[in-house]
Chain A
Amino acid sequence: MVKLNKLDTMLFRMIKNSKGQFIAALVIIVVGISVYTSLSMTAVNMRNTVNSYYAENNFPNLFIEATIVPNQKIEKLKKIKGVQNVTGRVSLDVPLVTENLNERVNLRMITMNGEREELSQSTLIKGRMISDFGKEALLIQQFADARGIKVNDVIKVQIKGVQYSLDVVGIVENPEYIYLMENAQSIMPDQDDFGVCYVSEKFGQQAFGSSGSYNQVLVSYVNDVDEDTLIEDIKNELDQNGIKQTIKRKDQLSNSMIDEELNQLDSMSSSLPILFLLVAGFMLMMMLGRMVKKDRMKIGILQAMGYTSHQVLFHYIKYALIVGVIGGFLGSLIGMALAGGMTKMYLQFYHIPLLKIEFYYSYIALAMILSAIFCTVSGLIGSREVLKITPADAMRAEAPKIGKRILLEKFSLLWKNLSFSNKMIAKNIFRNKKRTIFILVGVILTYGMMLFTTSMPSVMDQMMNKHFVEFQKMDYNISFIYPIHESAMQDMTHLIDVDYMEGKIEYPFELTNGNKKQSVIIVGIDKDTSFYSFKEKNGTPIMVPQNGILLSENLAKALQVEKGDAVRIKSFLHGREDVYLRVKGIIKQALGMNAYMEIGAMGEQLLEKNIITGVYVNSKDEKINEKLLHASNVATVMSVADTLAVYEEYMELMALSMGFMVLFSGILGFCIVYNATIISVMERQMEFSSLRVLGFRKKEIFFMIVRENNIIMILGILIGIPIGKMFLEYSSSAFSTDLYTFDMSPTLMAGILAGVYTVGFILAAQLATYRKINQLDFLQALKNREA
């Protein structure tokens, strides 16, 4: 058996005697390291999984949407230098016919040539692949699961006014729909109401009326190709085929959502643990500083016996090092276990049919090294006073601290009216600056994190509310399969009960400014539309201009344009010249990235006069979906109420992660206050002993400490409010993406809730110290002079 040297024996007993504080510091390290390991490993596993899934299923590099691409064009595209493979397909959004006729379920029908596509291959989960003929379909798994559709079931779809029955022969997963979203405005997956279905090319082209042609082209490249040049070459080849949109892999909806999620995991895995390690480091510094001060005599004796200052210093640093190594190890283990669970959860959520979860042991080593370094440095800073202690000094009683008046004493009227115990509290707050600042910073951090967490629901609410209630005001957004003359609006009024209706154009274009490009949908609406309420960045309302264009804030940022600049609208339509339009305003838009024009001007300048691609409707008609089911040119009917209902469900999912955040923040606050209180009690044993001699009860002494902490806590919360707001503002820019813009202003309720949680955890920490305080023999402290 390895025999410990006596300094180490002392060290382990020191840990045992201060186990509450040791555990408090350890917990913070464990939380920090487990967050680091779990998030990092999950992110790496997910990235590897997604990448290998993409590689195995030939996920394309480019997605092209066009009006019509003849079959022969595909062969021509394959010959372009740098192109590896090309697949053409027809894709059409059609309604699924369900028993509840008023339910609108959109199914994206995609054709596939042969048993297996060359690009964007599906993985068969159940059943078999479709044959070349017959009305057979493969359904994407998320949708099939959500609606309880099984292999051999029959589904009915309405294609251009004709109802078809399709045999579901297989359930698949596909790399294009890992994150199953209908479009960028959807914000979250809604697998109940949107699905993807694969049918044979023969059936699809026949049903869609697009025989011998496609409306989507998928392209993969060889390695090391200049993507932009290649895209230009492809566009030139498809110049006459009415390209609507070219989407690079990085911008593909599902891929960009996953990428965004993984980036957030990465950034959280690097920022949150550092915060926890910093707090733990500071805590260890305080603890060791206090220990060295208390052990002054012991340190002197050890030096008198012949131990070097560095041996003694290392004795204390080892305390921190042990916290770091154990914390790093436990944190990594817990992190690994969590990473396994989290990756599985992600894989299930995203429906990626793989894979093995790998444990990267390098992360454990890295986490342990990181935590050990943090703790060692903190230990060194905390116990550096050891080097200043000489044995002779240690033998002499320490010179008493020079007492100074505190700031509060200058306000004599206030000071005179304070009771003795309140005066002591005030003096302690002002004199123990380090401890006061430590608790203060702890409370500020805790409150800031709590505020961030409690603000999330209201931020999401605000975002949804801003977009679907304040910004857009329609009940239904109905899109047509093909653009038609605006007179079709009349026909709509015959089909459904309409309170109010406006025509719309929604059409994709590429906007450019210098070398900045962005493909977005330009929305054409009435000049005096009732369905949109545009506001400029400063909040001033703005109308749709007769000439010119309005850009959403994120679009203007992406293109680097200001109000008054001109942007080039590149038309994908054959024979159309590019158009330059003046930016008449930059508007706030919480969800999505769009540009807006007056509908007449848009038709005239960019498409054709007097056409519409759909309508916005306000209606109390509860059977809109049912009534439009058989309308041959209606592609999708989006109900704002349904979207909001999906969001409500999503918020329930969010509650779990919010619970974790509250717990983590609470642990931070709890440990800081617990440790600082114990340190304070230990430091002031003599002072409290004197109070005991004067007749103070233990409870009275405890409440003095509690009141001291509470004053700091209230101050911390007050300072935490603006700091939390700043944190939210920073986060709103960090979390905003091309798809959504957060405006994170905390509500009063979020502030109150954050305050309640903070106070709860901090009071719990103080209650935990009560037992410790109760156990202390203050009177013994007056007698003792042990090393």
Chain B
Amino acid sequence: MKILSAETLSKSYEMGEIQVNALDDVSFSIEEGEFVVVLGPSGSGKSTLLNIIGGMDQPTSGKVFLYSEEVTSYDEKKLTEYRRNKIGFVFQFYNIMANLTAEENVELATEISEDPLDVLEMLTAVGLNERKDHFPAQMSGGEQQRVSIARAVAKNPAILLCDEPTGALDFNTGISILGLLKKVNREMKKTVIVITHNTDIAFMADRVIKMRSGKIISNEINENPMSVEEIKW
């Protein structure tokens, strides 16, 4: 069953005095429960795509659907509801709140969602039960990213959107984070979309969408995804 689909998405914006065409006529669809990797070099438009499907930005033209609902027709209020209940974000630089503990960071998300998961169970699932009272400054990058994942998943969203989740981590930590994302995908049945420039991560995906200069250059199903332990970069 299609969980997410995009139809002829385009996006251009101004940055300072420069006009940027970030997306150019992009269309694709994703099945429920898939682990998807959107692959592309820097500036290929993958983050813009994530922003639009995550309801953080509006396309210049084109449509996005979650199941059969057109997300791009939502007003500001409905977009906020959409982000609140349907989407979980994981960012490259974790972006957890510096003055909240691990547990409080997760609670920050669960407090506003309709059907949240148990906070302590989530922290246990990401292996941070012992570190729940620590502040970000007292945690390693990997631990912070785990908090970020726990925070995103605890909202019990339909889709987990991850923007370069291993980009700021060393190899071993990166692998463990990918393992965690896979676990969320397989055990908790969440659709996970990972955006990365790291081609090796694509081997573990069910679907790989490749982008360049704002366009999709391929959208392929990976029949034999690798296990996380097999990936190397």
Q: Give me the interface of A with B, judged by CB distance under 8 Å.
A: 5-7, 9-10, 13-14, 17, 297-298, 300-309, 390-392, 395-396, 399-400, 402, 785-787
Q: Are the CB atoms of A305 and B109 closer together than 8 Å?
A: yes
Q: Are the CB atoms of A787 and B97 closer together than 8 Å?
A: yes
Q: Are the CB atoms of A303 and B104 closer together than 8 Å?
A: no
Q: Collect the chain A residues with CB atoms within 8 Å of residue B163's CB.
A: 395
Q: Collect the chain B residues with CB atoms within 8 Å of residue A392's CB.
A: 48, 51-52, 56-57
Given contacts A13-B99, A306-B85, A391-B51, 16 further A-B contacts (CB under 8 A): A9-B104, A10-B108, A17-B99, A301-B89, A304-B83, A305-B83, A305-B84, A307-B80, A308-B77, A391-B57, A392-B52, A400-B16, A786-B96, A786-B98, A787-B95, A787-B97
Q: Give me the interface of B with A, judged by CB distance under 8 Å.
A: 15-17, 47-48, 51-52, 54, 56-57, 76-77, 80-81, 83-85, 89, 91, 93-100, 104-105, 107-109, 111-113, 136, 151, 155, 163
The CA-CA distance from A507 to B160 in the complex, in Å, is: 98
Q: Are the CB atoms of A786 and B89 closer together than 8 Å?
A: no
Neighbour of B100 across the interface among A6, A17, A305, A308, CB < 8 A: A6
Q: Which 6 A-B pairs have the closest CB atoms?
A: A306-B84, A392-B57, A391-B56, A399-B16, A13-B99, A6-B108
Q: Are the CB atoms of B89 and A10 closer together than 8 Å?
A: no
Given A10-B97, A395-B47, also A305-B56 (CB < 8 A): no
Q: Are the CB atoms of A787 and B57 closer together than 8 Å?
A: no
Q: Which of B77, B95, B113, B163 has the most CB of A within 10 A?
A: B95
Q: Are the CB atoms of A6 and B51 closer together than 8 Å?
A: no
Neighbour of A390 across the interface among B57, B84, B89, B104, CB < 8 A: B57
In the complex, what residue of chain A is closest to B15 when comparing beta carbons?
A399
Distance in Å: Cβ of A130 to nearest Cβ of chain B:
77
The CA-CA distance from A182 to B105 in the complex, in Å, is: 75
The CA-CA distance from A787 to B109 in the complex, in Å, is: 15
Q: Collect the chain B residues with CB atoms within 8 Å of residue A7's CB.
A: 108
Neighbour of B136 across the interface among A13, A300, A395, A786, CB < 8 A: A786
The CA-CA distance from A300 to B89 in the complex, in Å, is: 11
Q: Collect the chain A residues with CB atoms within 8 Å of residue B97's CB.
A: 10, 298, 301, 787
Q: Are the CB atoms of B112 and A306 closer together than 8 Å?
A: yes
Q: Are the CB atoms of B51 and A395 closer together than 8 Å?
A: yes
The CA-CA distance from A400 to B15 in the complex, in Å, is: 9
Q: Collect the chain A residues with CB atoms within 8 Å of residue B85's CB.
A: 306
Distance in Å: Cβ of A402 to nearest Cβ of chain B:
7
Q: Collect the chain A residues with CB atoms within 8 Å of residue B81's CB.
A: 306
Q: Collect the chain A residues with CB atoms within 8 Å of residue B108's CB.
A: 6-7, 10, 302, 305
In the complex, what residue of chain B is closest to A297 when comparing beta carbons?
B95
Distance in Å: Cβ of B19 to nearest Cβ of chain A:
13
Q: Collect the chain B residues with CB atoms within 8 Å of residue A396's CB.
A: 15
The CA-CA distance from A400 to B17 in the complex, in Å, is: 10
Distance in Å: Cβ of A18 to nearest Cβ of chain B:
11
Q: Are the CB atoms of B15 and A395 closer together than 8 Å?
A: no
Given A306-B112, A396-B15, also A301-B91 (CB < 8 A): yes
Given A391-B57, A392-B56, A395-B56, also A308-B98 (CB < 8 A): no
Q: Which of A302, A303, A306, A308 has the most CB of B within 10 A?
A: A306
Q: Are the CB atoms of A305 and B99 closer together than 8 Å?
A: no
The CA-CA distance from A307 to B89 in the complex, in Å, is: 13
Given A6-B100, A9-B100, A786-B98, also A305-B89 (CB < 8 A): yes
Q: Are the CB atoms of A308 and B107 closer together than 8 Å?
A: no
In the complex, what residue of chain A is closest to B20 when comparing beta carbons?
A396
Q: Which of A5, A301, A309, A400 has the most CB of B within 10 A?
A: A301
The CA-CA distance from A785 to B145 in the complex, in Å, is: 13
Neighbour of B56 across the interface among A6, A9, A304, A400, CB < 8 A: A304
Given A304-B56, A305-B108, A306-B113, also A10-B15 (CB < 8 A): no
In the complex, what residue of chain A is closest to B98 when comparing beta carbons?
A786
The CA-CA distance from A399 to B18 in the complex, in Å, is: 10
Q: Collect the chain A residues with CB atoms within 8 Å of residue B83's CB.
A: 303-306, 391
The CA-CA distance from A308 to B48 in the complex, in Å, is: 21
Distance in Å: Cβ of B97 to nearest Cβ of chain A:
6
Q: Which of B83, B94, B105, B136 has the most CB of A within 10 A?
A: B83
In the complex, what residue of chain A is closest to B81 when comparing beta carbons?
A306
Q: Collect the chain A residues with CB atoms within 8 Å of residue B93's CB.
A: 785-786
